[in-house]
Amino acid sequence: MSRSVVALDRLVTFVVGLLLVAGGVLVIGWKYDLFGWLPSSVNSGPVKDITERGWWAWALGAAAMVLFLLGLRWLVAHLPGRSKVSELGLSGSGAEGRLDVNASGAVSAACAALQARHEVRSAKGSVRRDRGQLVIDIHATLEPRCDLTEVATAIDDTAAALTRSLERPDLYCRVRLDVGNRDRAKPARVH
Amino acid sequence: MSTPPRTAKDPRGFARVTVFGVLWSLALLALAVVAGHDALAYGKLISGTPWIDSALTSLDGTKPLFSWVVFAGLAVLVGLVLVYFALRPRPYLGAAVRAETGVFLLDRGLSRLAAAAAEDVDGVDAARASTSGRRVTVDVHGLSAERDSELEGRVRERVQSRLEPLEQPPQVRVRDQGRG
């Protein structure tokens, strides 16, 4: 999900929250005569006059179209998986043709290289857009008795090789490390 | 040999406010249905009273009732909850590990790593750890019936040493629960 969608969700939620608080306070004040400027009963006459104008039906029709399109666009923006990037453009693209690299394949290969290490139980990842950055996002599960320094060095090397192969200096990297259960340890291997 | 990519922003949890975003988008679609229906009804393209007209007629002349105060109180509470979720930042999910690129140890991983480190200490039968903010609490079951502060010290030292590669190692608290 993009940053702008989350920002819009925050803004609208904040405004709706404030409106509910203000509306609630207004109704309580109205019931107990705390606000002298409020009428004693609802008079919907002026609003009804507006609904009887000739342009009202057209205005409602236009509003229906706009609300429908905005609502649908906003709903679709919440669909998961839209931040994932499957192909990355390479330098050298031009009018003669475009050079793309399969980002998922490259990251999967890097994950496989990490997973070949005995202290990494599993690793998977993708390239995604997150908070304004193009991020190599990897999730790895480690063995409970791993050495974090060694793992970090291995990740640095793997990430460097991946950036070199993707030829994209604008990439950022985030590797999230989890640690597996003791009872599901990877079987020992002899190399 | 090229350099590793730059560190991305910290891993953050799910922004719960997006659940409300989905609700608001559905509310817009519902409003569009009401507006569309009433546009056709006001334009006399379909029969029946416009919904907006019915609502205005039923509201006309009403005075505030006590039941409205109850709903108003609920609306204030819901509004405050919405403001809280709108302002609530996405939670941090892990701690940064010393590396040239972005490497983060998730809180659950940190707990399991600490528990495994504690179990490697001589005299520890079983260990369990939990992480909260910048603190790891390790509960160990030693071999003696009473609390063994010397064992706690050794466990703390081992866990701290295992978590040394973190950029900001958390505070480690060890409690010996006695024989398990």
Residue B138 backbone dihedrals phi, psi, to 5 degrees: -115, 120
CA distance B64 to A143: 65
CB atoms within 10 A of CB A30: 19
pLDDT for A81 equals: 67
Q: What is the dihedral of CA A170, A175, A176, A178, to 10 degrees?
A: 170
Structure tokens, B7 = 């560190």
In chain B, which residues have their Cβ closer than 8 Å to the Cβ of A146? 113
Contact A177, A151 (CB under 8 A): yes
DSSP A132-176: TEEEEEEEEEE-TT--HHHHHHHHHHHHHHHHHHHT-TTEEEEEE
Q: Among B144, B143, B154, B161, which Cα is nearest to B121's?
A: B154
Digit-by-digit pLDDT tens for chain B (180 residues) are 578 888 888 888 888 999 999 999 999 999 999 999 999 998 888 888 899 999 999 988 888 888 889 999 999 999 999 999 999 998 888 899 999 999 999 999 999 999 999 999 998 889 999 998 889 999 999 888 888 888 999 999 999 999 999 999 999 999 988 876
How close B169 comes to chain A (CA, Å)?
12
CA distance B117 to B120: 5
- CB of B145 within 8 Å of a chain A CB? The answer is no
Contact B62, B55 (CB under 8 A): no
Nearest to B109 among A9, A71, A177 (CB): A177
In the predicted model, is pLDDT for residue A189 greater than 80? no
CA distance A8 to B32: 19
Contact B25, A74 (CB under 8 A): yes
Helix-, strand-, coil-residue percentages of chain A, each rounded to 5: 50, 20, 30
* Tens of pLDDT, residues A32-82: 888 888 888 888 888 888 988 889 999 999 999 999 999 999 999 998 766
Mapped onto helix, strand or coil, the DSSP state of residue B80 is helix
- Burial label for A142, CB within 10 Å (0-12, 13-18, 19+), is buried
Residues whose CB is less than 8 angstroms from the CB of residue B100 and which lie 6 or more positions away in sequence, other chains included: A156, A160, B3, B4
Q: Is B170 left (phi over 0), alpha (psi -120 to 50) or beta?
A: beta
Strand (E) or helix (H) holding A88: strand A87-89
Contacts 24+ apart (CB under 8 A), A64-69: A64/B32, A64/B33, A64/B35, A64/B36, A64/B39, A65/B32, A67/B28, A67/B29, A67/B31, A67/B32, A67/B35, A68/B28, A68/B29, A68/B32, A68/B36
Mean pLDDT of A81-96: 73
Instruction: Name the β-bridge partners of B129.
Output: B138
List the single best residue of A175, A182, A183, A184 to mutate versus B (max B Cβ within 10 A): A175
Nearest to A41 among B7, B63, B71 (CB): B63
Structure tokens, B158 = 């081992």
Nearest to B80 among A21, A47, A144 (CB): A21
Q: How long, in residues, is chain A?
A: 191
User: Cα(first)–Cα(last) distance of chain A, in Å?
Assistant: 43
Of A132 and A16, more confident: A16
Residue whose structure tokens are 């009428």: A39
- Asked if B72's CB is within 8 angstroms of A23's CB, the reply is yes
- Chain A's closest residue to B116, CA to CA, is A144
Contact B101, A175 (CB under 8 A): yes
How close B150 comes to chain A (CA, Å)?
23
CA distance A61 to A63: 5
The interface predicted TM-score (ipTM) is 0.73
